[in-house]
Amino acid sequence: MINLTTLNNGVRIVTEHVPHVESVALGVWVGAGAKNEEPSEHGMSHFLEHMLFKGTARRSARDIADEIASVGGQINAATDREYTTYYARVLKEFLPLAFDVLSDMLLNSAFDPVELEREKDVVTDEIRRHQDIPEDHVHDILTQVTWGEHQLGHSVIGTEETVRAATSGSLRGYRDVHYAPGRLVISAAGNLDHSQLVDLAAAALGSLDGSAPPAEYPPVAHIPARRLVNKDTEAAYFCIGAPGYSGHDQRRYTLAVLDAILGGGMSSRLFQEIREKRGLAYDIGSYRVCFREGGMFAVYGGTGVETLGEVLSLVRDELRRVSAEDVPEAEFRRAQTLIRGSILLAHEAMGSRMSRMAKSLLDFERLVPLEEVLQSVQDVTPSDVRTAATELLCEESLSMAVIGPAAEMEGVMAA
């Protein structure tokens, strides 16, 4: 059973009681992420997430880790473009401890200058390592070249310059502005009592006040541009981007089915044609991202420098084919079943249930029933998929990012 309570100051507490488990997944969700940052603040959400683990007035960084680990629990955090989450998983009897630790981090982080400088080194190393992994970094390059100066266009992790410029005061100020009560969702799933978590939240967070600035940004424009990043690699790593749908567009379910058909797993067209049939790539697939301001559909992969041109040609062939003809019924139903299975299998994990409720409230201001999502996927038709493919996947709309030895790929990029 799912319960939702809103405190007088706007903090929302949502829980799902699952009696047959012995654990609880607890998350403190903030409706602020990388897209809320000003240009001088790029990476601030991510760096703030790091700093909240570095100690409070009551706990050292070691205490934060030890208190959860000592009861067999886990604690972590994540930052995305639209939200930041701090979460823990513990046995049911330790829910008050987990909430106390997370709320203490949220409210009372010390932002110690010594810890701050040390963590700048950590995050700077994280940025450099990310850039050294081309199969990861190419996705950021695609986003930057496709979305340009839009708030969604910059990397969540930020840059060395913006991270180095952060101060205890700027981090505290960013938290005070963006971690307003109306943007906070306390979400938990597992063997717990809703009223207990409401009481804990009211005691710790009920006195919070203030309101965050409006987080309304213009629709993101898709720029069909190309960028080649020169890197001395044995392979070439590519990402092709097409326009997508926003997270509030019902056609996002159509795009999910199209994604499953083209690159969603080992039975997908791209995997079967490029990896299994021809052996041209170890890693090949697709994905879609849907934000409030717009979205993107992307195909990614890695292949030998000498076979990049052939692989890109095969990808374009598959994009044209799915636009030119309806997907056969059996293949179409298999894609729908794949999506249904991934949703329901994820739903068996308490962390997934906790995350789904929080994202639902932050994205839609309501709890979207799981049955509604499954039915929306089931309602998609082969004609819907073909229409979406025709609209989104035309050659002149595609953007592309490639990482590899430039001298050997200039001709491929120009093709």
CATH code, 59:
3.30.830.10
Same domain (yes/no): 92, 234: no
Residue 194: predicted pLDDT: 98
Residue 25 zone, left/alpha/beta (φ > 0; ψ -120 to 50; rest)? beta
Q: Is residue 406 part of a domain?
A: yes
Same domain (yes/no): 246, 197: no
**Cβ distance 237 to 402 under 8 Å?**
yes
Residue 415: predicted pLDDT: 61
- Rg value, the chain, Cα: 23
- The mean pLDDT of 142-148, rounded to a whole number, is 96
Given the residues 49, 67, 115, 318, select the one marked as catalytic: 49
The answer on pLDDT for 22 being more than 80 is yes
pLDDT band at 109 (very low <50, low <70, confident <90, very high): very high
Q: Is residue 211 part of a domain?
A: no
pLDDT band at 413 (very low <50, low <70, confident <90, very high): low
- The parent domain of residue 79 ranges over 2-205
What angle (nearest 5°) sits at the alpha carbon of residue 83, between those of residues 255 and 41? 115
Same domain (yes/no): 373, 342: yes
The answer on pLDDT for 314 being more than 80 is yes
The answer on pLDDT for 303 being more than 70 is yes
- What is the enclosing helix (H) or strand (E) of 356? helix 350-364
By C-alpha distance, which of 80, 89, 78 is closest to 32? 80
Same domain (yes/no): 53, 146: yes
* Strand ordering across the sheet containing 294-304: 226-230, 399-404, 235-243, 294-304, 281-291
Residue 360: predicted pLDDT: 98
Q: Is residue 327 part of a domain?
A: yes
Q: Is residue 212 part of a domain?
A: no
Q: Is residue 234 part of a domain?
A: yes
Same domain (yes/no): 192, 281: no
Q: Is residue 158 part of a domain?
A: yes
Question: What is each CA distance from 255 to 261, 266, 338, 392, in whole angstroms?
Answer: 10, 18, 14, 10
Same domain (yes/no): 109, 59: yes
Same domain (yes/no): 172, 301: no
Question: What is each CA distance from 125 to 62, 119, 128, 182, 226, in whole angstroms?
Answer: 21, 10, 5, 34, 28
Catalytic residue list contains 115: no
Give 376-385 pLDDT, tens digit per residue.
999 999 999 9
Residue 212: predicted pLDDT: 85
Q: Is residue 220 part of a domain?
A: no
pLDDT band at 409 (very low <50, low <70, confident <90, very high): confident
- The mean pLDDT of 83-94, rounded to a whole number, is 98
Contacts for 101 with CB less than 8 Å, ≥ 6 apart: 59, 64, 67, 68, 75, 88
Angle at which helix 95-108 crosses helix 194-205, to 10 degrees, equals 20
Residue 216: predicted pLDDT: 82
By C-alpha distance, which of 80, 160, 154 is closest to 358? 80
Give 166-201 pLDDT, tens digit per residue.
999 999 999 999 999 999 999 999 999 999 999 999
pLDDT band at 407 (very low <50, low <70, confident <90, very high): confident
What percent of the chain has a predicted confidence (pLDDT) above 70? 99
Same domain (yes/no): 185, 259: no
Same domain (yes/no): 172, 269: no
Average pLDDT in the chain: 96
- The mean pLDDT of 206-228, rounded to a whole number, is 91
**Cβ distance 109 to 169 under 8 Å?**
no
Last residue of a domain, one of 155, 175, 205: 205
Same domain (yes/no): 43, 154: yes
Q: Is residue 111 part of a domain?
A: yes
Residue 42: predicted pLDDT: 95
Contacts for 225 with CB less than 8 Å, ≥ 6 apart: 145, 146, 399
Same domain (yes/no): 93, 44: yes
The answer on pLDDT for 414 being more than 70 is no
Same domain (yes/no): 178, 119: yes
Q: Which two tokens stand for residue 401?
A: 């990012």
Residue 214: predicted pLDDT: 82
**Cβ distance 264 to 285 under 8 Å?**
yes
**Number of separate domains in the chain:** 2
Cβ neighbours around 70 below 10 Å, total: 10
Residue 215: predicted pLDDT: 77
